[in-house]
Amino acid sequence: MKKDAWVLRLKDEFNDSKAPQYYTGNDEDEGLTKDLREANIIYDKDAAEIWMKKWEEAIFKKFGNDAICNAGYTHMMKHFEWVQVEVEEVDIA
């Protein structure tokens, strides 16, 4: 069964690689991958954006408006763009 989903692709102006890079949600290796299969798959883009905004708000409230908030909405939308993908779920029985 195929489902629509989203991934975050690093914007060209921030990508020093010739290949597209995608957000993995991992802290390892800067949280980026060139392999689309390793990207963080988002099924509900609106919910993800709300989470990023709430995370940013919580970080700024706790540490001040100058705090680094890499997973916050402002940072993510500055560096990444949404790309719609189609995910095929495989029934393993």
Q: What is the pLDDT of residues 23-82, one digit of tens each?
A: 998 765 578 999 998 999 999 999 999 999 999 999 999 999 999 988 899 999 999 999
CA separation for the pair 3, 15 (Å, rounded): 28
pLDDT at res. 28: 59
pLDDT at res. 48: 96
The pLDDT of residue 4 is above 60: yes
Going edge to edge, which strands form the sheet with 32-33?
32-33, 22-23, 2-10, 80-88
- 0.95 exceeded by pTM: no
